[in-house]
Amino acid sequence: MADHAATHPSAPSIPWWLQPAATVIILSGFVVYATWVALVGSGKFGAYLSPFYSPEVKIGGIPISPAFWVLWAPAGFRATCYYYRKAYYRSYFADPISCMIGESRRRYAGETIFPFVLNNLHRYLLYAAGVVLVFLWIDAVKTFFAGGRFGVHLGSLIFLVNVVLLSGYTLGCHAFRHMVGGNLDCYSCARGGRLRFRLWEWVNPFNHRHAWWAWASLFSVVSADVYVRLLMAGAIADPRLL
């Protein structure tokens, strides 16, 4: 940080601990909020279904919040995400705190012990999160046809922005890029190589800004849920814009 300030005199001096501290606060706050939302047991108002409850799953006779039937997929997908792993390893465990700072421990075990070994499930959680994303798109489209007629409400736009950001985050996933073409050394030698190369090229811009999509979609999910809960509480109206 000091070298950066010396090289760029106009650059503001930012304490090294600020970013990891902010990461801990935001991620911890999200976990607490998501847990509370799931325990509430409801998250629907008219055509608006909270993203924490989508797809809507109800199993009679089992006293479990519907959110818990679906939250494991997007929550597990984020928890095992390569970017989030870097973020919480550095922020929560200082392992390491930065690329240029050494670790306090002498032995490196990697992700071979529980619960970190579960990070190997990331590819499969990608598939599950992809299914949930399809339902979220369906939910977003439904908000434009509340009451059987097309209309644009503030909530419709909030839900649309949310699924766009979630899609950018999912498409930018390292495992997804690897799946569509990142695992090939020779595109011209592989079956369907040209198509896979095009897909890989298309996914790359999302992957390059994966961190941005990760944080933006995290806030958009919370924003969509908060909007639904404000409607449920009668605190706000859902203004029609078009």
3-state secondary structure of 197: helix
Long-range contacts of 57-60 (CB under 8 A, 24+ apart): none
Residue at 98 is within a domain: yes
Q: If you compute the radius of gyration of the chain from its CA atoms, what whole number of angstroms results? A: 21
Of the listed ranges 85-89, 107-111, 192-196, 223-227, the least confidently predicted one is 107-111
Q: Does pLDDT of 50 surpass 50?
A: yes
Residue 1 has pLDDT above 60, yes or no: no
Give the CA distances from residue 204 to residues 99, 133, 135, 210, 213, in Å, rounded to whole numbers and listed in that order. Answer: 24, 20, 25, 10, 13
pLDDT score, position 108: 64
Q: Is residue 205 part of a domain?
A: yes
Determine the average pLDDT of the residues in 20-41: 95
Decide if 94 is inside a domain. Answer: yes
**Structural domain tally of the chain?**
1
Model pLDDT, residue 61:
73
- What is the pTM assigned to this prediction? 0.87
Whether residue 61 is contained in a domain is answered as yes
Q: Domain for residue 242, yes or no?
A: no
Mean pLDDT of 97-123: 74
- Whether residue 240 lies inside any domain: the answer is no
Expressed as residue numbers, the domain containing 117 is: 2-233
- How does 208-228 read in b/e, with b if 16+ C-beta sit within 10 Å? eebeebbbbbbebbbbbbebb
Q: Is residue 83 part of a domain?
A: yes
What pLDDT sits at residue 182? 73
- The lowest-confidence range among 29-33, 51-55, 65-69, 178-182 is 178-182
CB of 30 within 8 A of CB of 218?
yes
CA–CA distance, 141 with 224 (Å, rounded to integer): 14
Residue 23 domain-assigned? yes
